[in-house]
Structure 1
């Protein structure tokens, strides 16, 4: 198995890479902040975060604050381990000659 085979396809998208990068250094991040940080549309964030949630890499919490809905995200233990493994594989790929 080559180094490139160890890269995680779930993190190939720049949006998913961005979501995971933000969540690795923050506890909970709300929808509006995530959308602003990544400069993406509501639909783009919703679809990519749903895919990461389905893979159990992130947790999505939906609640009401007053009468307004609030969606927040955080990385799971599996997500953290998988993303670190992905980054380590990328690093090895960069170091190959």
Structure 2
């Protein structure tokens, strides 16, 4: 992600999901590496979270794209950011304090 006015790189990784109105982005770094990390960045509060709650998901293990094709931003409000994996085999929902 690059800041439009200055051209400064704000973050680097592989896009997973975004909530543009709430300025929240979910992305992966080191895709397919042993040290792959799912990160959640809240641009309104300038907070970043390393998300480990979904790494044992069956979806993440079975999908070709791993977490990238499983996890999504469900809901964002002034208090919490909710991420989820939901398919016919499992439902995992996690909340993160904004």
Structure number with larger C-alpha Rg: 1
**With structure 2 as the length reference, what TM-score do the two structures score?**
0.26
Bigger fraction of residues in strand:
2
Name the structure where helix makes up a greater proportion of residues: 1
